[in-house]
């Protein structure tokens, strides 16, 4: 029997999807796989809610825009310092939307927890922070969902490296949000309509500027570059923003109201490409040299030409895959898809890391 106790940081769209999958599937995991999973606590910025009794109520509260403190919380730091239940291995699951959780993650692993991330912040900050975190948990860190949502991008890359291959270059379209917006504009919708639809479908963050700014892609590029062995600081990766000038800092309601003013300019930019080319938001990560993040004029016949909807494409050129590259593609946005990557990591911990316990 393998027993996991979850302390979850974040109960947004992805966090609620993780909780739903765990609560729906854990009986089957116990019966078929001998894996018992239960929640010790969930948290938002107002504190940690302990136990499982109030978890369904907490999910409904967050869906309505409430805060967990309305149900009675305790400091998350106290939970992370506490001992897990007897016979259980604790896993800190960080599915927070933004960064700012580094100290909490570090506190958890310093107290013996495993760490599962969909939050990219802890792995895409300064090199000093990255090395501090990774050195603490070389065998207790899982982060499949930080890049590609539920797609097997991190595990594919890890498998290449572990088997002795050398990654020479990665080219990727790693934003399901931007892929969806650009393919929607190509299909005839306006830029503002596409952005609003991406928000409604939960492909984009509630404030779509978090995606349109390009910062999310830059963070993914940092994570992949560091897995390649590159020492790189965030400020070394400039990224192109698709947020119209003048709308960067206005209130969200005003941003959405004024976005249609820029539809014509965006459509013109999408159309101003060579014949048989398409505009795509890509990152290029070579083994050496500058990492680029931004719009690229791409041939239709390339792996990135036929992108549709929230699809991600990752193209690996390695020592073994040099004449024909290794391509991983699939939908890379949506709470349930990202949550599936998180839950897969949880089950992987149970089956691999705890197999001798």
Report the catalytic residues: 220
Q: Which of 174, 190, 186, 195 is nearest to 273 (CA)?
A: 186
Check residue 83 and report its DSSP letter: P
Annotated binding residue 262: no
Annotated binding residue 13: yes
**CA pair distance 10, 120, nearest whole angstrom:** 13
Annotated binding residue 305: no
Annotated binding residue 14: yes
Report the Cα 62 to chain-centroid distance in Å. 20
**CA pair distance 335, 17, nearest whole angstrom:** 6
Annotated binding residue 164: no
Contact 121, 101 (CB under 8 A): yes
Annotated binding residue 62: no
Annotated binding residue 15: yes
| Dihedral, CA of residue 16, residue 21, residue 26 and residue 31, to nearest 10 | 180
Question: What H or E segment, with its residue span, contains residue 336?
Answer: helix 335-348
Q: Which of 224, 237, 199 is nearest to 148 (CA)?
A: 224
Annotated binding residue 107: no
**CA pair distance 307, 161, nearest whole angstrom:** 27
Q: Which residues, at least 6 apart from 241, have a Cβ–Cβ distance to it below 8 Å?
A: 212, 213, 214, 248
Residues annotated as binding site for NADPH?
120
Residues annotated as binding site?
10-15, 120, 205
Residues annotated as binding site for L-homoserine?
205
């Amino acid at each position: 029997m393998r027993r996991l106790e979850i302390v979850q940081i974040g109960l947004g769209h992805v966090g609620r999807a993780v909780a739903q999958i765990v609560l729906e599937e854990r009986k089957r995991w116990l019966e078929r796989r001998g894996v018992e999973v239960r929640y010790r606590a969930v948290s938002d910025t107002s504190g940690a809610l302990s136990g499982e009794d109030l978890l369904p109520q907490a999910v409904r509260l967050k869906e309505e825009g409430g805060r967990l403190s309305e149900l009675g919380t305790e400091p998350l730091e106290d939970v992370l310092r506490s001992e897990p239940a007897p016979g259980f291995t604790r896993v800190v699951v960080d599915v927070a939307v933004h960064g700012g959780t580094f100290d909490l993650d570090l506190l958890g692993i310093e107290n013996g927890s495993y760490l599962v991330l969909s939050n990219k912040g802890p792995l895409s900050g300064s090199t000093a922070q990255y090395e501090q975190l990774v050195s603490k948990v070389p065998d207790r860190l899982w982060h499949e969902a930080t890049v590609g949502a539920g797609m097997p991008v991190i595990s594919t890359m890890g498998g290449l490296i572990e088997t002795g291959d050398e990654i020479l270059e990665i080219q990727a379209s790693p934003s399901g949000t931007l892929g969806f917006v650009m393919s929607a504009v190509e299909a005839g919708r306006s830029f503002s309509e596409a952005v609003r639809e991406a928000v409604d479908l939960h492909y984009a963050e509630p404030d779509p500027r978090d995606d349109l700014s390009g910062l999310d892609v830059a963070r993914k590029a940092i994570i992949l570059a560091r897995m390649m062995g590159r020492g790189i600081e965030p400020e070394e990766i400039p990224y192109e923003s698709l947020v119209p000038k003048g709308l960067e800092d206005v209130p969200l309601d005003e941003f959405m109201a004024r976005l249609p003013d820029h539809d014509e300019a965006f459509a013109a930019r999408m159309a101003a490409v060579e014949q048989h080319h398409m505009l795509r938001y890509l990152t290029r990560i070579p083994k050496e040299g500058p990492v680029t993040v931004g719009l690229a004029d791409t041939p239709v016949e390339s792996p990135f030409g036929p992108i549709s909807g929230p699809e991600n494409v990752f193209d690996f050129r390695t020592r073994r895959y040099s004449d024909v590259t290794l391509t991983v593609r699939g939908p890379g946005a949506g709470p349930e898809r990202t949550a599936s990557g998180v839950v897969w990591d949880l089950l992987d911990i149970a089956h691999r890391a705890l197999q001798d316990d």
